[in-house]
Protein backbone atom coordinates (compact mmCIF):
# COMPACT_ATOMS: atom_id res chain seq x y z
CA UNK A 1 0.00 0.00 0.00
CA UNK A 2 1.38 3.38 -0.91
CA UNK A 3 1.63 5.52 2.20
CA UNK A 4 0.03 8.96 1.90
CA UNK A 5 -1.25 8.18 -1.57
CA UNK A 6 -4.92 8.76 -0.94
CA UNK A 7 -4.85 11.61 1.47
CA UNK A 8 -7.40 13.53 -0.58
CA UNK A 9 -10.09 11.04 0.30
CA UNK A 10 -8.98 10.61 3.87
CA UNK A 11 -10.24 13.97 5.16
CA UNK A 12 -7.48 14.78 7.66
CA UNK A 13 -6.86 18.46 8.34
CA UNK A 14 -4.62 20.73 10.35
CA UNK A 15 -6.55 23.86 11.29
CA UNK A 16 -4.83 26.88 12.72
CA UNK A 17 -6.59 29.95 14.05
CA UNK A 18 -5.07 33.02 12.45
CA UNK A 19 -7.12 35.52 14.39
CA UNK A 20 -10.32 35.71 16.42
CA UNK A 21 -12.32 35.63 13.19
CA UNK A 22 -10.31 33.41 10.86
CA UNK A 23 -8.52 30.13 10.45
CA UNK A 24 -6.65 28.22 7.79
CA UNK A 25 -6.90 24.50 7.13
CA UNK A 26 -4.26 22.37 5.47
CA UNK A 27 -4.64 18.76 4.40
CA UNK A 28 -2.76 16.68 6.91
CA UNK A 29 -0.66 14.02 5.18
CA UNK A 30 0.71 12.48 8.35
CA UNK A 31 1.45 13.09 12.04
CA UNK A 32 5.08 12.15 12.64
CA UNK A 33 4.95 13.03 16.31
CA UNK A 34 2.46 14.59 18.68
CA UNK A 35 3.02 15.14 22.36
CA UNK A 36 3.78 17.81 24.87
CA UNK A 37 6.78 19.12 26.73
CA UNK A 38 6.61 20.89 30.11
CA UNK A 39 6.30 24.14 28.16
CA UNK A 40 4.03 23.54 25.20
CA UNK A 41 2.35 21.03 22.94
CA UNK A 42 4.71 19.87 20.19
CA UNK A 43 3.87 18.14 16.93
CA UNK A 44 5.76 17.28 13.78
CA UNK A 45 3.36 16.89 10.87
CA UNK A 46 3.47 16.72 7.09
CA UNK A 47 1.32 18.93 4.86
CA UNK A 48 1.71 20.36 1.37
CA UNK A 49 4.34 22.65 2.96
CA UNK A 50 6.41 19.55 3.81
CA UNK A 51 7.39 18.50 7.31
CA UNK A 52 6.34 21.12 9.82
CA UNK A 53 6.99 21.92 13.47
CA UNK A 54 3.81 22.93 15.30
CA UNK A 55 3.84 24.15 18.90
CA UNK A 56 0.69 25.01 20.81
CA UNK A 57 -1.27 24.61 17.58
CA UNK A 58 0.77 27.20 15.70
CA UNK A 59 3.02 26.58 12.71
CA UNK A 60 6.64 27.32 13.60
CA UNK A 61 8.70 26.12 10.64
CA UNK A 62 8.01 24.28 7.38
CA UNK A 63 10.32 22.29 5.18
CA UNK A 64 9.30 24.29 2.11
CA UNK A 65 9.80 27.82 3.39
CA UNK A 66 11.89 27.74 6.57
CA UNK A 67 14.83 29.22 4.63
CA UNK A 68 12.83 32.38 3.97
CA UNK A 69 12.23 32.86 7.67
CA UNK A 70 15.74 32.05 8.80
CA UNK A 71 17.54 34.03 6.09
CA UNK A 72 15.23 36.97 6.88
CA UNK A 73 15.92 36.79 10.60
CA UNK A 74 19.68 36.29 10.45
CA UNK A 75 21.09 38.00 7.36
CA UNK A 76 20.06 41.64 7.92
CA UNK A 77 21.84 42.02 11.29
CA UNK A 78 24.88 40.13 10.00
CA UNK A 79 25.03 42.26 6.85
CA UNK A 80 24.62 45.42 8.92
CA UNK A 81 27.42 44.40 11.27
CA UNK A 82 29.77 43.25 8.54
CA UNK A 83 32.02 40.86 10.45
CA UNK A 84 30.24 39.36 13.45
CA UNK A 85 32.24 37.17 15.81
CA UNK A 86 29.98 36.49 18.78
CA UNK A 87 26.26 35.86 18.43
CA UNK A 88 23.57 35.23 21.02
CA UNK A 89 20.38 33.43 19.95
CA UNK A 90 17.33 33.52 22.20
CA UNK A 91 15.12 30.55 21.30
CA UNK A 92 15.98 29.03 17.95
CA UNK A 93 14.97 25.45 18.78
CA UNK A 94 14.91 24.22 15.19
CA UNK A 95 18.67 25.03 15.02
CA UNK A 96 18.25 26.71 11.64
CA UNK A 97 19.01 30.14 13.07
CA UNK A 98 22.28 28.77 14.42
CA UNK A 99 22.90 27.16 11.01
CA UNK A 100 22.60 30.51 9.25
CA UNK A 101 24.92 32.17 11.77
CA UNK A 102 27.55 29.46 11.63
CA UNK A 103 27.57 29.63 7.83
CA UNK A 104 29.57 32.86 8.18
CA UNK A 105 33.35 32.31 8.55
CA UNK A 106 33.93 35.33 10.82
CA UNK A 107 31.64 33.88 13.47
CA UNK A 108 33.65 32.43 16.36
CA UNK A 109 30.96 31.70 18.90
CA UNK A 110 27.23 31.17 18.94
CA UNK A 111 25.38 30.71 22.21
CA UNK A 112 21.80 29.57 21.85
CA UNK A 113 19.42 29.46 24.83
CA UNK A 114 16.16 27.61 24.34
CA UNK A 115 13.84 26.67 27.17
CA UNK A 116 12.48 23.54 25.54
CA UNK A 117 14.95 20.71 25.08
CA UNK A 118 12.17 18.46 23.78
CA UNK A 119 11.63 20.70 20.75
CA UNK A 120 15.33 20.63 19.92
CA UNK A 121 15.41 16.84 20.22
CA UNK A 122 12.30 16.42 18.06
CA UNK A 123 13.74 18.72 15.38
CA UNK A 124 17.01 16.80 15.36
CA UNK A 125 15.09 13.55 14.94
CA UNK A 126 12.38 14.58 12.49
CA UNK A 127 13.70 17.72 10.79
CA UNK A 128 17.41 16.96 10.48
CA UNK A 129 18.03 19.18 7.44
CA UNK A 130 17.11 22.22 9.52
CA UNK A 131 20.23 22.03 11.62
CA UNK A 132 22.46 19.08 10.82
CA UNK A 133 25.12 21.32 9.28
CA UNK A 134 25.79 22.83 12.69
CA UNK A 135 25.08 20.11 15.28
CA UNK A 136 28.69 19.25 15.76
CA UNK A 137 30.12 22.69 15.04
CA UNK A 138 32.43 23.41 18.02
CA UNK A 139 31.53 27.12 17.80
CA UNK A 140 27.95 26.33 18.93
CA UNK A 141 26.93 26.12 22.58
CA UNK A 142 23.32 25.21 23.41
CA UNK A 143 21.91 26.00 26.84
CA UNK A 144 18.50 24.65 27.82
CA UNK A 145 16.90 27.21 30.05
CA UNK A 146 15.25 30.57 30.37
CA UNK A 147 16.67 32.96 27.76
CA UNK A 148 16.18 36.07 29.91
CA UNK A 149 17.95 34.62 32.91
CA UNK A 150 20.80 33.08 30.97
CA UNK A 151 21.27 36.19 28.86
CA UNK A 152 21.60 38.22 32.04
CA UNK A 153 24.03 35.73 33.54
CA UNK A 154 26.47 35.35 30.64
CA UNK A 155 29.26 37.93 30.77
CA UNK A 156 29.88 38.65 27.13
CA UNK A 157 29.70 41.46 24.60
CA UNK A 158 27.69 40.27 21.62
CA UNK A 159 28.11 41.46 18.07
CA UNK A 160 24.66 40.27 17.15
CA UNK A 161 21.69 39.32 19.35
CA UNK A 162 18.95 37.35 17.59
CA UNK A 163 15.59 36.74 19.26
CA UNK A 164 13.98 33.72 17.58
CA UNK A 165 11.21 33.11 20.09
CA UNK A 166 7.52 32.36 20.10
CA UNK A 167 5.06 35.21 19.74
CA UNK A 168 4.21 37.02 22.95
CA UNK A 169 1.13 35.14 24.10
CA UNK A 170 -0.22 35.36 27.58
CA UNK A 171 1.69 33.29 30.11
CA UNK A 172 4.02 32.12 27.37
CA UNK A 173 7.62 31.70 28.41
CA UNK A 174 8.85 34.36 26.03
CA UNK A 175 6.80 37.27 27.25
CA UNK A 176 9.54 39.11 29.11
CA UNK A 177 11.80 38.90 26.06
CA UNK A 178 9.65 41.54 24.36
CA UNK A 179 9.93 44.21 27.07
CA UNK A 180 11.79 47.51 27.35
CA UNK A 181 13.63 46.00 30.32
CA UNK A 182 15.03 43.21 28.18
CA UNK A 183 15.86 45.55 25.31
CA UNK A 184 17.78 47.85 27.69
CA UNK A 185 19.80 44.89 28.89
CA UNK A 186 20.40 43.77 25.29
CA UNK A 187 21.70 47.19 24.29
CA UNK A 188 24.15 47.10 27.17
CA UNK A 189 25.48 43.74 26.11
CA UNK A 190 26.11 44.67 22.49
CA UNK A 191 29.67 45.40 21.44
CA UNK A 192 30.30 48.63 19.52
CA UNK A 193 28.66 48.25 16.11
CA UNK A 194 26.46 45.50 17.52
CA UNK A 195 23.02 44.76 16.10
CA UNK A 196 19.86 43.45 17.75
CA UNK A 197 17.05 41.73 15.86
CA UNK A 198 13.79 40.11 16.90
CA UNK A 199 11.08 38.29 15.05
CA UNK A 200 7.98 40.44 15.46
CA UNK A 201 4.85 38.48 14.49
CA UNK A 202 2.29 39.34 11.85
CA UNK A 203 3.01 42.28 9.59
CA UNK A 204 0.12 42.72 7.16
CA UNK A 205 -1.84 45.94 6.64
CA UNK A 206 -4.58 44.44 8.81
CA UNK A 207 -2.53 43.05 11.70
CA UNK A 208 0.71 45.06 12.08
CA UNK A 209 -0.76 46.16 15.42
CA UNK A 210 -1.00 42.64 16.88
CA UNK A 211 2.44 43.13 18.41
CA UNK A 212 4.81 44.46 15.75
CA UNK A 213 4.07 48.15 16.21
CA UNK A 214 4.46 47.86 19.99
CA UNK A 215 7.77 46.05 19.64
CA UNK A 216 8.86 48.77 17.22
CA UNK A 217 7.81 51.58 19.56
CA UNK A 218 9.47 49.91 22.51
CA UNK A 219 12.75 49.45 20.66
CA UNK A 220 12.61 53.10 19.56
CA UNK A 221 12.78 54.05 23.23
CA UNK A 222 16.02 52.13 23.60
CA UNK A 223 18.02 52.23 20.36
CA UNK A 224 19.04 55.13 18.14
CA UNK A 225 17.92 53.39 14.96
CA UNK A 226 15.11 50.88 14.56
CA UNK A 227 14.45 49.22 11.20
CA UNK A 228 11.28 47.27 10.59
CA UNK A 229 11.19 44.75 7.74
CA UNK A 230 9.16 41.84 6.52
CA UNK A 231 9.06 38.70 4.39
CA UNK A 232 6.27 36.69 2.84
CA UNK A 233 6.36 33.20 4.35
CA UNK A 234 3.45 31.26 2.83
CA UNK A 235 3.04 28.80 5.68
CA UNK A 236 2.69 31.65 8.19
CA UNK A 237 -0.45 32.87 6.41
CA UNK A 238 0.52 36.54 6.64
CA UNK A 239 3.56 38.66 5.80
CA UNK A 240 5.97 38.19 8.67
CA UNK A 241 7.61 41.05 10.56
CA UNK A 242 11.10 41.50 11.96
CA UNK A 243 12.66 44.43 13.77
CA UNK A 244 16.34 45.32 13.76
CA UNK A 245 17.87 47.91 16.12
CA UNK A 246 21.31 49.42 16.69
CA UNK A 247 23.17 52.56 17.66
CA UNK A 248 24.26 54.91 14.89
CA UNK A 249 22.62 56.01 11.66
CA UNK A 250 20.69 53.86 9.21
CA UNK A 251 22.52 55.04 6.09
CA UNK A 252 21.09 53.70 2.86
CA UNK A 253 20.63 50.17 4.18
CA UNK A 254 16.92 50.13 3.26
CA UNK A 255 17.39 50.61 -0.50
CA UNK A 256 19.44 47.46 -0.77
CA UNK A 257 22.13 49.09 -2.90
CA UNK A 258 25.28 47.07 -2.49
CA UNK A 259 23.68 44.15 -0.67
CA UNK A 260 24.96 41.56 -3.14
CA UNK A 261 28.52 42.77 -2.50
CA UNK A 262 27.94 42.81 1.24
CA UNK A 263 26.79 39.19 1.07
CA UNK A 264 29.88 38.27 -0.86
CA UNK A 265 32.08 39.93 1.75
CA UNK A 266 30.35 37.96 4.55
CA UNK A 267 31.35 34.87 2.58
CA UNK A 268 28.67 32.36 3.60
CA UNK A 269 29.69 28.72 3.21
CA UNK A 270 27.08 26.34 1.77
CA UNK A 271 27.13 22.59 2.13
CA UNK A 272 25.42 19.77 0.30
CA UNK A 273 23.23 20.71 -2.64
CA UNK A 274 22.70 24.31 -1.57
CA UNK A 275 25.02 26.67 -3.44
CA UNK A 276 23.68 30.09 -2.46
CA UNK A 277 20.96 31.77 -0.43
CA UNK A 278 17.59 30.56 -1.61
CA UNK A 279 15.78 33.77 -0.87
CA UNK A 280 18.09 36.63 -0.10
CA UNK A 281 19.71 39.04 -2.52
CA UNK A 282 19.64 42.73 -3.30
CA UNK A 283 16.19 42.87 -4.87
CA UNK A 284 14.72 40.62 -2.16
CA UNK A 285 16.28 42.95 0.41
CA UNK A 286 14.68 45.97 -1.30
CA UNK A 287 11.33 44.15 -1.18
CA UNK A 288 11.75 43.33 2.52
CA UNK A 289 12.72 46.79 3.68
CA UNK A 290 10.09 48.71 1.65
CA UNK A 291 6.80 48.80 3.53
CA UNK A 292 3.40 49.95 2.42
CA UNK A 293 2.14 53.42 3.29
CA UNK A 294 -0.46 52.17 5.80
CA UNK A 295 2.04 49.99 7.63
CA UNK A 296 4.64 52.75 7.86
CA UNK A 297 1.98 55.12 9.17
CA UNK A 298 0.82 52.53 11.69
CA UNK A 299 4.31 51.87 13.04
CA UNK A 300 5.00 55.60 13.25
CA UNK A 301 1.86 56.45 15.19
CA UNK A 302 1.98 53.57 17.70
CA UNK A 303 2.14 54.76 21.31
CA UNK A 304 2.24 51.49 23.28
CA UNK A 305 5.52 50.64 25.02
CA UNK A 306 5.90 47.09 26.33
CA UNK A 307 7.22 46.80 29.85
CA UNK A 308 7.26 44.08 32.46
CA UNK A 309 4.25 45.76 34.03
CA UNK A 310 2.47 46.36 30.76
CA UNK A 311 3.09 43.45 28.39
CA UNK A 312 1.52 43.11 24.93
CA UNK A 313 -0.34 40.06 23.75
CA UNK A 314 -1.04 39.07 20.22
CA UNK A 315 -3.80 36.69 19.24
Task: Give, as ranges, the residues between 236 and 275 that touch a second copy (CB under 8 A).
Answer: 237-239, 255-256
Of 246, 280, 299, 314, which one interacts with a second copy (CB under 8 A)?
280
Q: Which is nearer to a second copy, 102 or 259 (CB)?
A: 259
281 part of the active site: no
Burial 265-288 (b: 16+ CB within 10 A, else e): ebebeeeeeeeebebbbbebbeeb
Q: How far apart are CA 282 and CA 117, in angstroms?
A: 36
Number of Cβ within 10 Å of residue 160's Cβ equals 29
Least distance from a second copy to the Cβ atom of residue 224, Å = 21
- Binding positions for a second copy, 36-65, rule CB under 8 A: 36-37, 40-43, 45, 47-49, 54, 56-57, 64-65
Strand order in the sheet with 225-231: 140-144, 109-114, 86-91, 158-164, 190-202, 240-246, 225-231
Asked if 130 and 123 touch (Cβ cutoff 8 Å), the reply is yes
Q: Which is nearer to a second copy, 18 or 191 (CB)?
A: 18
Q: Which is nearer to a second copy, 121 or 153 (CB)?
A: 121
Alpha-carbon dihedral sign for residues 183, 189, 281, 262: positive
> Among the candidate windows 91-99, 139-147, 217-225, 291-299, which touches a second copy by CB under 8 A?
291-299
Least distance from a second copy to the Cβ atom of residue 138, Å = 29
Q: Which is nearer to a second copy, 232 or 307 (CB)?
A: 232
Task: Look up residue 252 and give its DSSP letter.
Answer: T
Of 85, 154, 292, 298, which one interacts with a second copy (CB under 8 A)?
292
Q: Which of 164, 167, 209, 309 is catalytic?
A: 164
222 binds a second copy (CB under 8 A): no
- Binding positions for a second copy, 149-188, rule CB under 8 A: none
Of 264, 293, 303, 309, which one interacts with a second copy (CB under 8 A)?
293
Least distance from a second copy to the Cβ atom of residue 37, Å = 5
**254-258, Cβ contacts within 8 angstroms, sequence gap of 24 or more:** 254/227, 254/289, 254/290, 255/286, 255/289, 256/282, 256/283, 256/285, 256/286, 256/289, 257/282, 258/282
- Binding positions for a second copy, 102-121, rule CB under 8 A: 118
Of 82, 152, 271, 290, which one interacts with a second copy (CB under 8 A)?
290
Q: Which is nearer to a second copy, 67 or 187 (CB)?
A: 67
Total number of residues binding a second copy (CB under 8 A)?
Answer: 77
User: Of 5, 93, 114, nearest to 44 (Cα)?
Assistant: 93
Q: How far apart are CA 19 and CA 16, in angstroms?
A: 9
23 binds a second copy (CB under 8 A): yes
Angle between helices 293-301 and 212-220 in degrees, nearest 10: 50
Give catalytic residues, as residue numbers: 164
Amino acid sequence: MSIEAEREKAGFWFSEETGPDSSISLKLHSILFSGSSPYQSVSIIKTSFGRTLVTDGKTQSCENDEKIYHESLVLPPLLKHGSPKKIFIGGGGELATARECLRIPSVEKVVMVDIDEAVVKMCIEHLPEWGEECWSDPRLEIIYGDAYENFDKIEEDWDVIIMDISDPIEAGPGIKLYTKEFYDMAKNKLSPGGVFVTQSGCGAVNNWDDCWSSIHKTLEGVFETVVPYRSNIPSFACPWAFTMAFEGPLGDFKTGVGVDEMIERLGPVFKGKQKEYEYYDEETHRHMFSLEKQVRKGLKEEKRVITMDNPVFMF
